[in-house]
């Protein structure tokens, strides 16, 4: 006769993470995140049986506390978008939309999660260290999970009328080689500006300016 207890959900593996966190996998292929100081030490043993109460705590208060600690660890290394945090929490054993919503809500109230601030800082840093056009910046912000409405506000603020062309023209001047023929220079600079994410009409306008000799290079080059 089969022992019914053999069908109980059990801990089958334990992975220790940074900051006192652990991720356990169960015999039913589920993962849970918990902190070693959560009072759930008995669950940090392979073979530990998970009864209804244990599972309820793992899905609720234990998950909330561990998920918040996990998020703090991620944010200590760099800013994250809300989407990035949601995905990271779900991938590391913090299940349940309500729990994740609660963690994100706490982080927002504490000022740790703010997609508009993240996007503004991202664009400001990029413009200082690697000036780029709005097309490239949009793609990069989308990649890190910033919403379209936030992206548009930040891009609009970073590129007031005339700014994109002025920035592109400055980059073109720094890269122009006085010894290069105009056709080759126009093609080379045009390709460069397109890769940097400037709009086609601006790229074409600057390329025409190079062909006509209306745009002169700078001595320092780039």
Q: Are 15 and 77 in a shared domain?
A: yes
* Nearest CA-CA partner of 21 in 49, 54, 61, 63: 63
Domain boundary among 88, 109, 130: 109
* Nearest CA-CA partner of 67 in 93, 39, 43: 93
Least confident of 5-19, 78-92, 172-186, 202-216: 5-19
CA–CA separation, 155 vs 112, rounded Å? Answer: 22
Query: DSSP character for 51?
Result: -
Spell out the alpha helix ranges (H) of 7-93: 52-59, 61-77, 82-91
pLDDT band with cut points at 50, 70 and 90 for residue 221: very low
Q: Are 104 and 8 in a shared domain?
A: yes
Q: Are 192 and 214 in a shared domain?
A: yes
Range of the domain at 168: 160-222
Residue 158 pLDDT > 70: yes
Averaged pLDDT score across all residues of the chain: 91
Q: Are 8 and 86 in a shared domain?
A: yes
Q: Are 22 and 76 in a shared domain?
A: yes
Query: What's the pLDDT score for residue 191?
Result: 97
| Predicted model pTM | 0.81
Q: Are 61 and 121 in a shared domain?
A: no
């Amino acid at each position: 006769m089969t022992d019914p207890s053999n069908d109980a959900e059990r801990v089958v593996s334990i992975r220790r993470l940074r900051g006192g966190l652990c991720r356990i996998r169960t015999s039913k292929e589920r993962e849970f995140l918990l902190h070693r100081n959560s009072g759930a030490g008995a669950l940090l043993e392979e073979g530990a049986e998970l009864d209804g109460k244990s599972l309820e705590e793992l899905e609720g208060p234990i998950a909330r506390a561990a998920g918040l600690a996990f998020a703090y660890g991620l944010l200590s290394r760099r800013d994250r978008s809300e989407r990035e945090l949601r995905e990271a929490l779900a991938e590391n054993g913090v299940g349940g939309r309500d729990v994740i919503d609660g963690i994100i809500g706490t982080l927002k109230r504490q000022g740790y999660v703010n997609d508009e601030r993240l996007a503004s800082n991202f664009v400001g840093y990029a413009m200082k260290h690697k000036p780029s056009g709005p097309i490239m910046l949009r793609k990069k912000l989308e990649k890190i999970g910033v919403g379209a409405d936030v992206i548009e506000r930040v891009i609009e603020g970073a590129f007031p009328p005339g700014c994109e062309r002025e920035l592109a023209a400055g980059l073109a001047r720094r890269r122009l080689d006085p010894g290069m023929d105009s056709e080759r220079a126009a093609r080379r600079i045009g390709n460069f500006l397109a890769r940097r994410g400037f709009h086609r009409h601006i790229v074409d306008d600057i390329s025409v300016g190079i062909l006509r000799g209306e745009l002169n290079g700078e001595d320092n080059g780039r």
